[in-house]
Chains A and B, each alone.
Chain A
Amino acid sequence: MSRPVLSVRNVRVSFGGLAALDDVSIDVVPGEVVGIIGPNGAGKSTLLNVVSGFVEPQSGEVRLEGREITGLLPYRRARLGIARSFQDARLFPAMTVRETLLGAFHERFTSGMFSEGLGAPLAREQEDAAQGAIDALLHLVDLHPYLDHRVSDLSFGTTRALEMAALAARRPRLLLLDEPASGLQQSEVAVMGDLIHRLRGGAATVVIDHDVPFVAALSDRLVAMDLGRVVAVGRPDEVLAAPAVIDSYLGGAAPVAAGGER
């Protein structure tokens, strides 16, 4: 097995007295899609926050391609190649779609405030390059009609698509998606699965969602969590059949049945 892109070891997080993560360890190998399922409050988002730097664990460590990143601020981790989406899909409400996409190239620029304000050739070249890169991106997701609309005016599905495009633009090594299908209609969910495959570009990916069939179909491996602990790991069919998983869903009803057929 190749070296994991992401390796989370024995992480503990508690808010007040509540243990949101209780000794959680997870590996993600290159190219792999790992799905995380679990009931509300299981600690799924907290795990993503620990990996992306928004929550600092009380103990345990996080490694990205072998390098310890525990303690780094979120923007530093982003520059090391971690891209994540947020459960709320708010993005940048007052910015346009075009600006949002250009903003995704932030870390690739080398120009600074002064070269930009003075209209120096370097700044202009980079701006043009970013515009070109956007065009390439728009071949994958057709956001053309919305380019000059503000994010807050977009429909929910379009916002999700924009979010995915902005993440893909950064060509991450590790892609973390927090409930990409929540709030979408059933027909859109299937499309979102396609979109993720198309846009992730082979990056190691972690997907959280409550739509179990959606996650299961997308993932190579599933991790089931409950009350801050990992209760099962393995191939999707194994995990979905595990007694601990069935227990944590709807008083014992099988998650596949709970999620509807696919």
Chain B
Amino acid sequence: MIWIQYLVFGVGIGAMFSLLAAGIVLVYRASGVLNFAHASTGVLATYVNFELLERYEWMPVWVALLGALATGALTAVVVQRLVFAPLREASQVTKLLVSFGVAGAIQGVIGLVWSRLGTPALEKSLFPIQRSVNIAGARVPYQRIALIVFGIAVTVALTWLMQRTSFGIQVRALAQNRLAARLAGINEARIEASTWALAGATAALAGVMLIPFGVLNPLSLMGVQLKALAVALVGGFVSLPAALVGGLGLGTAQELIAGAPAPFNGLSGALATALVVVLLLTKVERFFVSEQEARAIQGEARSFGAGRGSVMVGTGRGWLAGFAVVALAVSLVSGFWAFVTARTLVYALLGLSLVVLTGWSGQVSLMPGTFAGVGACLSWVLSERLGYPFGLVLPLAALATVPLCALAGFVALRLRPLYLAVATIALAGLFEETLFRQDWFANGGRPMTVARPGFLEGDHAFALATVAVVALLFAFTALLARSRTGRALWMVRDNPQAAAAAGVNPLKYRLAAFGLSAFYAGMAGVLFAYLLETFSSAAFGFLILSLAAFGLAVVGGIRSPLGPAIGAFGFVFLTEVFRSSGTVSDWSAVGLGVGLVVVLARDPDGVTGLLSRLAGRWRVGGPAGDEEVGVVDLDELASAVRTQEAAHV
């Protein structure tokens, strides 16, 4: 009766998906924020819970649980007040990205605090793991049953709260028509804060109950949250009953497949994620959209926020000259620093792929790391399995990344911005659970080794090669920015309808942006593979690489190639410079997270935007980004037109 055990496990996990999804739905309804920091809130609360239990031996578990719930609620409210309240008018995509920053910051803080205290033990759980009951011959721990009972009960209670109480009605009124709700005397601030508090507490509950089955670290629950996001999507991020059913269904299916005989059980994660992707594409935005809808989606602007001034792009020659200086520096420093420089450049290239895709074509994709992983795995396949030399692997692996990633592009063309962002997260997961675990493609997830060619064996030589490749691609990008292609991308980003009316094909340029960014990211992956020489596909996970690349590109300034260059220097190179203790990476996580929040909230052009404005102030007579211009109206224009005419006659 082993399957009963799997069933109970599945329903339990599913109930936790539902519970987390319910919190996400609540917050989305009240504030329009798809909160990626939801899980991190729960993880922080879980740390507090077990810290309390470890520190105060006498403390009953339920008191510690109360402490955790309070921590979750308080964290959520602080985040809402501090970060999201000022962002009310921002686009949903911007809010999602900001929540990534918040998640990173919370994870960094957890790392900083508990690297001092030491990770608390997970021994004293709410329900002792050892005790269990027999159900039809299967041994089922109490704790598994508790997951089911608490998960379902709390989700149902939240549903009741939203549908039957005056509080729920007020939240729904806010979601439907903010202005009208305000006019009707609903206290927006209080309702929002209470909703966030409630959601934070449920995240804490999920963390305290679920994490003891795994390990406690700052990234706990992140994988679970990805599934919870998909579950929330079943009901379009607004329906709690749909989240309940979706969560239970997904959890059950996942565990039952895991319990299936040998060839099938491996599909557990993959099948569940595949289900998620299909669900995402069919339920919320139909994959095969009608002509009418295609026109409508084609016409939707994709800016996630424009900066305040024009940005520096640099010239092709300028970039080549700059990188020549880097090459000179590389040949002067030690092998270690040459290695660090090369690593920095790989991150910069990954960020550059986002400049083209997100900064220029306005499409928020969270899978640059995945694309890089494809490039890295392909270079292993080509070099180790097929025996191709480095000189062929480098271009081929990067090029082959493009068609593999075109899948994402085709999906992207059919989705609205917020769903695109979510879809790319799901697709990243799909790649990780399928392709990145194949024996033939990724050595089954085990370490892969590629050998640098003889003339590039040393770190100096390889770093110089990296500088050369990256320099060419940066120069290429800078030239594009001053050409028809760059302008067409911006036109499509800013106003797709006006772009189409000017003869620009929006679909073509959106797809081209995906292709180019896949090539850049794939190339970054190839370089990364040869730089590390031994690597595994896990290094290219969404949570590990994509978020870092996204964060550094945004903080540096995502509309200019200078952005990822600055971002990579700050977050990869300087982190290495200041590495004196183990906490430096936590500090940089906090820095990246806070930076992301600040940049997105204040000026999407990031550090580059700031530099541009400073430079503008320096240059006398040059356009300054900030000031309003155009006090001169048509009147004056007309007189200008007339004088010129007179001059011509």
Contacts and interface: CB of A to CB of B under 8 A. Distances in A.
Most chain B CB within a 10 A radius of its CB, from A104, A113, A152: A113
Q: B-side binding surface: helix, strand, loop or mixed? A: helix
A118 B479 CA distance: 7
Interface string B107-151: 000000000000000000000000000000000000000000000
A198 B303 CA distance: 34
A93 B494 contact: yes
A83 interface: yes
B503 A116 contact: no
A116 B627 CA distance: 33
Nearest to A120: B479
Interface string B492-506: 011101111111111
Contacts of B484: 102, 105-106, 109, 111, 116, 123, 126-127
Interface stretch (B30-38, B181-189, B305-313): B305-313
Contacts of B483: 111, 116-117, 123, 127
Most chain A CB within a 10 A radius of its CB, from B487, B495, B648: B487
Nearest to B516: A113
Interface string B610-636: 000000000000110001111111110
Contacts of A166: 502
B480 interface: yes
Contact of A54 (B482, B497, B505): B497
Contacts of A2: none
B388 interface: no
Contact of A113 (B485, B494, B500, B640): B485
Most chain B CB within a 10 A radius of its CB, from A94, A141, A192: A94
Nearest to B485: A113
B291 interface: yes
A179 interface: no
B641 interface: yes
A106 B480 CA distance: 14
Contacts of B316: 119
A149 B503 CA distance: 24
Interface string A47-58: 000001111100
Interface in B282-329: 291-292, 295, 299, 303, 306-307, 309-310, 316
Most chain A CB within a 10 A radius of its CB, from B303, B502, B505: B502
Interface size of A as a range: 35 or more
Interface residues of B, number: 56
Interface in B480-529: 480, 482-488, 490-491, 493-495, 497-506, 512, 516
Interface in A156-214: 157-158, 160-161, 166, 170, 184-185, 187-188, 191-192, 194-195, 198
Contacts of B485: 112-113, 116-117
Contacts of B629: 146, 149, 153-154
A227 B512 CA distance: 42
A158 B295 contact: no
B306 A94 contact: yes
B491 A95 contact: yes
A140 B641 contact: yes
Contacts of A44: none
Contact of B295 (A54, A153, A155, A195): A54
A159 to B, nearest CB: 8
B310 A161 contact: no
A150 interface: yes
A191 B477 contact: no
A73 B641 CA distance: 36
B291 A56 contact: yes
Given A54-B295, A140-B641, A149-B623, A103 B488 contact: yes
A126 B512 CA distance: 21
B386 interface: no
Contacts of B640: 142
Interface stretch (A32-40, A84-92, A218-226, A245-253): A84-92
B637 interface: yes
Given A106-B504, A127-B482, A149 B630 contact: yes
B306 A93 contact: yes
A90 B491 CA distance: 12
B498 A187 contact: no
A145 interface: yes
B637 A191 contact: yes
A95 B638 CA distance: 24
Given A93-B494, A95-B487, A119-B479, A161 B634 contact: yes
12 contacts: A93-B303, A93-B494, A93-B495, A94-B303, A113-B480, A142-B637, A145-B632, A155-B632, A158-B632, A158-B634, A187-B635, A188-B635
Interface of A: 52-56, 73-75, 78-79, 83-84, 86, 90-96, 99, 102-107, 109, 111-113, 116-119, 123, 126-127, 139-143, 145-146, 148-150, 152-155, 157-158, 160-161, 166, 170, 184-185, 187-188, 191-192, 194-195, 198
Given A73-B500, A83-B502, A103-B487, 16 more contacts: A53-B500, A54-B295, A95-B494, A96-B310, A103-B490, A113-B516, A117-B480, A127-B482, A141-B637, A142-B637, A143-B637, A148-B622, A154-B629, A160-B634, A191-B635, A191-B638
